[in-house]
Amino acid sequence: MCLALTPATRDALARWGEHLSALDGASANTVKAYAADVTAWASFLAEHLGGAPAPRALCEIGQSDMRAFMAHERARGLGARSLARRLSSVRNFVRWLTDREGGEATAVLAARGPKYRRKLPRPLSPEAARDMIAQIDVQAREDWVAARDTAVVTLLYGCGLRISEALSLTVADQPLPEVLRIRGKGGKERLVPVLPVARAAVADYVRLCPWPLAAAPTAPLFRGTRGGPLNPRLIAGAMEQARLALGLPASATPHAMRHSYATHLLSAGGNLRMIQELLGHASLSTTQAYTAVDAARLMEAYSAAHPRA
């Protein structure tokens, strides 16, 4: 694909990535995904126009060319949500590029993808979340592995952490404090209260862990069976085994525990802005999805209690 980019465009793309990392705090994975989106767009234009456009020409792509790009992406099976993200990446890049190259980028910046309905988070019920943790605690063959998996899943549900955030904890973070400083997406930091049950679960794991944790304060807290960093797939596998044993749906994943944390806080009267801060969402609109979940659960309960004649 990069052959469809001029050297000047490749250089601009690299500098834009540095801008996203340095000023916007985007993670390496985010920068890589955005760059792939822009590269796909520029590659299409190179074929569509009969040659790779220079940076300024990219800023002046017309409305018909943008429509052709969107039609091409949909024809090859790209979903509405993915196309919307791809266009967002392109607009971000062209906006940055226009500030440096000049040009009239109205057609690109005005391009909008097809509308799509956001998927609602799929949390577990409070009882199912507790059953999940209890099942994980008894299903592993080794006590320390059971304690490890229980500690991680308890952090996901009890603190609303992402799996990557839980596994990024180091030996120096234990014993866990009452309030934990978490660095989330884009390097954004937030303070998260740690429930006593979560602190106790981590302490139990530390007590049983066969690896010498104290010797390496900066090393990962959660270890695999060979002593290396714990692979998140092992937690996903443990949860899959537990959900099958409990008869829970396939949506009972590690991230569902974070959804459950937010939904149960909201049901208990939690403030939406507070929940946004606890989850580390950059936008309140992301957190507002949980209000729709809570309303849907309320209607389900109402319908069950008052069935129509």
187 inside domain: yes
Provide the sign of the torsion angle of the four alpha carbons 70, 73, 76, 79, taken in this order: negative
11 inside domain: yes
In this structure, what CATH number is given to the domain that contains residue 95? 1.10.150
User: Are 81 and 159 found together in one domain?
Assistant: no
pTM of the model: 0.62
Q: Specify whether the CB–CB gap between 166 and 179 falls below 8 A.
A: no
286 inside domain: no
Provide the sign of the torsion angle of the four alpha carbons 19, 25, 31, 37, taken in this order: negative
pLDDT tens per residue, range 8-49 = 999 999 999 998 887 766 778 888 999 999 999 999 999 998
User: Are 93 and 134 found together in one domain?
Assistant: no
Q: Which domain holds residue 51?
A: 2-110
Q: Which of 85, 110, 135 is the last residue of a domain?
A: 110
d(Cα 154, Cα 206) in Å, to the nearest integer? 14
| Owner of token pair 């500098």 | 15
103 inside domain: yes
User: Are 130 and 261 found together in one domain?
Assistant: yes
298 inside domain: no
Which is nearest to 162 in space by CA: 242, 233, 257, 243? 257
Query: In b/e form, how buried is each residue of 220-258, taking b as 16+ CB within 10 angstroms?
Result: bbbbeeeeeebebebbeebbeebbeeeebeeebbbebbb
d(Cα 258, Cα 123) in Å, to the nearest integer? 8
pLDDT tens per residue, range 151-165 = 999 999 988 888 999
Residue 262: pLDDT band by 50, 70, 90 thresholds? confident
Give the chain's domain count: 2
User: Are 134 and 249 found together in one domain?
Assistant: yes
Catalogue the active-site residues.
Answer: 162, 185, 255, 258, 281, 290
User: Are 100 and 227 found together in one domain?
Assistant: no
Share of the chain above pLDDT 70, in %: 84
123, 265, 129, 297: CA torsion to nearest 10: -40
Q: Which of 265, 287, 302 is the last residue of a domain?
A: 265
277 inside domain: no
User: Are 151 and 75 found together in one domain?
Assistant: no
β strands within 135-248, DSSP E: 179-183, 189-193
218 inside domain: yes
Residue 239: pLDDT band by 50, 70, 90 thresholds? very high
The conformation of residue 140, written as its DSSP 8-state character, comes to S
